[in-house]
C-alpha cells in the first residue's frame, strides 16, 4: 500500500515509533559500551600477586573468600588455574591470568594452540570472571632467554584469538620484565634497554603501542638498595620523608627523586623513549619487601616490609605520578599475598607475603588515611588472640597470669557467662589476652604473653560472646571464611581500589526507561489502514 494513502495519524505514529526505536538502540549501545569500559581501570590501583608455593594452601573457594573479606579487587595469578577462575566468578575481582614460561614455545609456534588456550582459559570463564589482562610468560628475557624469539609471536597469536572472540578491547596482553633488562637505570634519563634484546623489545613495544597495552615491569627497590648499599639511602628505598639534600637528582633533567620506585618507573619510560615509544604506560606487576632474611639480608625485617608496602600503597593512591610523568600514576601489584614457604633459599624468598598460609597476617599494614583504599581502618581496630600450635600447659600459665597478676577482667569466661563456651583453654586465653591488650591501650608489647599471642584485625567475637576490643558487629564486618579453619582471616591489608563512578549518566538510563514506557503504549495503539 502506498504511503500517501495512509492516514496522517498512522504515518505520524510510524515515524515516531521508528525514531524512538533508533534512539533506544543508540542508548542501549552506549550503555553496553560503558559497562565494558567499567571493567577496565582508568584510575591507579594496588593489586596483589598470588603465588602458590605454599604448604597446606587453602582451597580456591576459601582463598577467594579471604580476598573478598580483605576487599582485594585486583589480583595477578601466575597461571590460569581453573579452580581459581571458577571461584572468582561473579565476584567482580579483576584478574590477570598468565601463560607459564613452559607453554611459550607451543603457543608461539601455533596459532591453533594459542586459540585453544584462549578458549580453555578465557572464553570458558569470561565475563562472569573479570579477566582484564594476560601476562605471557614471566621475566622471559632474563630467565628463559632461549624462548625469547617466540615471545612476541606468542603474544600476537593470543591477541589474534582475542580479536576473533571480539575481546581484544576488554583484555590486554603483555609480558612482565625484570628490571635488569634496563641498563644504566640511574639517572633515569640515561637508562636504556639492553641492546641484545632489541630484536624483541622493538616489535613488543610496537604491539603494546598499537593495542593500548601496558609495559609490565617487576620493580623491587629492595634489590636496588641491597646492590647499592652506601649509595642508595634506605629511607629513599622505603618512601620515607627526605631532606632535599638526600633526594636523588637527575643531573640531566634536574628532576628530584624522593623514592627509588619512581626512579625505576621513569627509567622504563626513558628506555622506551630511546626506542621512539612515548605512548605506552608502565604497569608494575610486582613490587614488595621481604619481612625476614638470613644473616646476609639484615634489612629484610617486618618493620621495613611494613614501611615499604604501607608507604607504596599511599604513594599510588595519592596519584602524584613520577617526576617525569606527574600526570601518570602506575598501578602496582604488591608481591605477594602469602609467604611461599616452599621456595628455595635464601630465606627472604619465602617471606614476601602479607599472610601465612592459614590466613593470619605476617604483619599489619599501616595505611590509615589512605582514602578509599581501606574498607576499614585496620590499624585502629586490632585484637589479641592465641597463636596456633601452643600447648595447653603453656597457655594455662599465660591465662593464669592474665586473670591474676595481670588484673584482667575475666568474668565473661566464667561458667554460665557469654564467653565460657567453647570451654577450652585456647578460647578462654584468647578472651583474656584481648581483655589485657585493650586494657593496656593496645600498647606495644601488651600482646605477647611470652610469645604465645598475636595481633589480628579480625574480630574474634562469636555468637553472644563479644570480645573487649570489638566494635558493634554487623554483617559487613563478620568474616566469610570457614569457621573451621585454624585461624580466622585477618590482616592489615584490606586492599580496595578506587571505585569509579558509572560512565553512564542517570539521564541516559532515565531516558531509556521513558522510551520503554512509550513503546509499550504505542504497541497498544492500532494502526488504522483504510
Strand 383-386 to 453-456 pairing? antiparallel
CA distance 329 to 349: 28
Measured between alpha carbons, how far is 178 from 488 in angstroms, rounded to an integer? Answer: 35
Q: For helices 506-522 and 8-37, what crossing angle results, to 10°?
A: 150
Strand blocks (E) in 198-305:
215-218, 248-249, 256-257, 282-287
Torsions phi, psi for 285 (to 5 deg): -85, -15
Contact 263, 185 (CB under 8 A): yes
Q: Please check whether residue 292 is in contact with residue 346, taking contact to mean a CB–CB distance below 8 angstroms.
A: no
How many Å apart are CA 93 and CA 88, to the nearest integer?
7
- Are the beta carbons of 44 and 329 closer than 8 angstroms? yes
Name the catalytic one among 139, 156, 336, 340. Answer: 139
Q: All 3 cell numbers of residue 59?
A: 582451597
DSSP H helical ranges for 91-178: 104-109, 111-118, 140-143, 151-164
| Neighbouring C-beta atoms of residue 62, cutoff 10 Å | 17
Beta-strand pair 282-287/215-218: parallel
Grid cell 602524584 is found at 320
The residues, any chain, with a CB within 8 Å of residue 136's CB and separated by 6 or more, are 98, 99, 104, 107, 151, 154, 155, 158, 173, 174, 175
CB neighbours (10 Å) of residue 308?
27
412 as an active site residue: the answer is no
* Beta strands per DSSP E along 155-265: 172-174, 177-178, 182-183, 192-193, 215-218, 248-249, 256-257
Question: Which one is catalytic: 43, 156, 210, 286?
Answer: 286
**Any catalytic annotation for residue 139?**
yes
Helix intervals (H) in 404-505: 425-439
> Per the structure block, which three cell numbers stand in for 48?
596483589
DSSP structure string for 294-360: -TT-TT--HHHHHHHHHHHHHHHHHT---SS-TT----EEES-SB--TTSPSSGGGG---SB-TTS-
Strand stretches in 113-223, DSSP E: 131-136, 172-174, 177-178, 182-183, 192-193, 215-218
CB 72 within 8 Å of CB 93: yes
Neighbouring CB atoms inside 10 A of 465's CB total 18
Catalytic site positions: 139, 286
Amino acid at each position: 500500500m502506498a504511503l500517501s494513502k495512509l492516514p496522517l495519524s498512522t504515518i505520524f505514529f510510524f515515524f515516531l515509533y521508528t525514531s524512538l526505536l533508533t534512539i533506544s538502540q543508540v542508548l542501549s549501545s552506549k550503555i553496553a559500551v560503558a559497562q565494558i569500559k567499567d571493567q577496565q581501570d582508568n584510575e591507579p590501583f594496588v593489586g596483589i600477586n598470588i603465588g602458590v608455593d605454599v604448604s597446606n594452601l587453602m582451597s580456591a573457594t576459601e582463598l577467594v573468600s579471604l580476598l573478598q573479606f580483605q576487599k582485594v579487587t585486583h589480583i595477578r595469578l601466575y597461571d590460569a588455574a581453573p579452580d581459581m577462575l571458577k571461584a572468582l566468578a561473579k565476584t567482580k575481582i579483576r584478574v590477570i591470568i598468565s601463560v607459564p614460561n613452559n607453554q611459550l614455545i607451543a603457543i608461539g609456534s601455533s596459532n591453533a594452540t594459542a586459540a585453544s588456550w584462549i578458549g580453555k582459559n578465557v572464553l570458558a570463564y569470561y565475563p562472569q570472571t573479570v579477566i582484564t589482562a594476560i601476562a605471557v610468560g614471566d621475566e622471559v628475557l632474563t630467565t628463559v632467554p632461549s624462548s625469547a624469539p617466540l615471545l612476541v609471536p606468542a603474544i600476537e597469536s593470543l591477541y589474534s584469538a582475542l580479536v576473533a572472540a571480539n575481546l581484544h578491547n576488554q583484555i590486554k596482553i603483555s609480558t612482565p620484565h625484570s628490571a635488569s633488562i634496563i641498563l644504566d637505570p640511574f639517572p633515569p634519563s640515561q637508562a636504556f634497554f639492553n641492546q641484545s634484546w632489541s630484536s624483541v623489545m622493538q616489535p613488543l613495544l610496537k604491539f603494546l603501542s598499537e593495542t593500548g597495552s601496558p609495559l609490565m615491569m617487576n620493580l623491587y627497590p629492595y634489590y636496588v638498595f641491597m646492590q647499592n648499599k652506601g649509595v642508595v639511602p634506605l629511607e629513599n628505598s622505603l618512601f620515607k620523608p627526605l631532606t632535599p639534600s638526600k633526594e636523588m637528582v637527575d643531573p640531566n633533567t634536574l628532576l628530584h627523586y624522593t623514592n627509588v620506585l619512581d626512579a625505576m618507573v621513569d627509567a622504563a619510560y626513558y628506555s622506551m623513549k630511546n626506542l621512539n615509544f612515548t605512548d605506552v604506560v608502565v604497569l608494575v606487576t610486582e613490587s614488595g619487601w621481604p619481612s625476614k632474611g638470613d644473616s646476609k639480608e639484615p634489612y629484610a625485617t617486618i618493620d621495613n616490609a611494613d614501611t615499604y608496602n604501607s608507604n607504596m600503597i599511599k604513594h599510588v593512591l595519592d596519584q602524584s605520578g613520577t617526576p617525569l610523568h606527574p600526570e601518570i600514576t602506575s598501578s602496582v601489584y604488591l608481591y605477594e599475598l602469602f609467604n611461599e614457604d616452599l621456595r628455595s633459599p635464601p630465606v627472604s624468598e619465602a617471606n614476601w607475603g602479607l599472610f601465612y598460609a592459614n590466613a593470619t597476617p605476617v604483619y599489619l599494614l599501616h595505611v590509615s588515611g589512605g582514602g578509599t583504599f581501606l574498607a576499614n581502618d585496620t590499624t585502629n581496630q586490632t585484637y589479641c588472640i592465641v597463636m596456633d600450635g601452643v600447648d595447653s600447659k603453656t597457655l594455662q600459665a599465660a591465662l593464669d597470669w592474665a586473670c591474676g597478676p595481670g588484673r584482667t577482667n575475666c568474668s565473661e569466661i566464667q561458667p554460665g557467662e557469654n564467653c565460657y563456651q567453647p570451654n577450652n583453654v585456647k578460647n578462654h586465653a584468647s578472651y583474656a589476652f584481648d581483655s589485657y591488650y585493650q586494657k593496656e591501650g593496645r600498647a606495644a608489647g601488651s600482646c605477647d604473653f611470652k610469645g604465645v599471642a598475636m595481633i589480628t584485625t579480625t574480630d574474634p567475637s562469636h555468637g553472644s560472646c563479644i570480645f573487649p576490643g570489638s566494635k558493634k558487629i554487623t554483617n559487613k564486618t563478620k568474616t566469610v571464611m570457614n569457621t573451621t579453619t585454624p585461624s580466622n582471616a585477618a590482616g592489615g591489608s584490606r586492599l580496595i581500589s578506587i571505585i569509579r563512578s558509572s560512565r553512564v549518566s542517570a539521564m541516559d538510563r532515565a531516558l531509556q526507561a521513558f522510551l520503554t514506557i512509550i513503546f509499550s503504549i504505542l504497541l497498544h495503539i492500532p494502526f488504522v489502514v483504510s
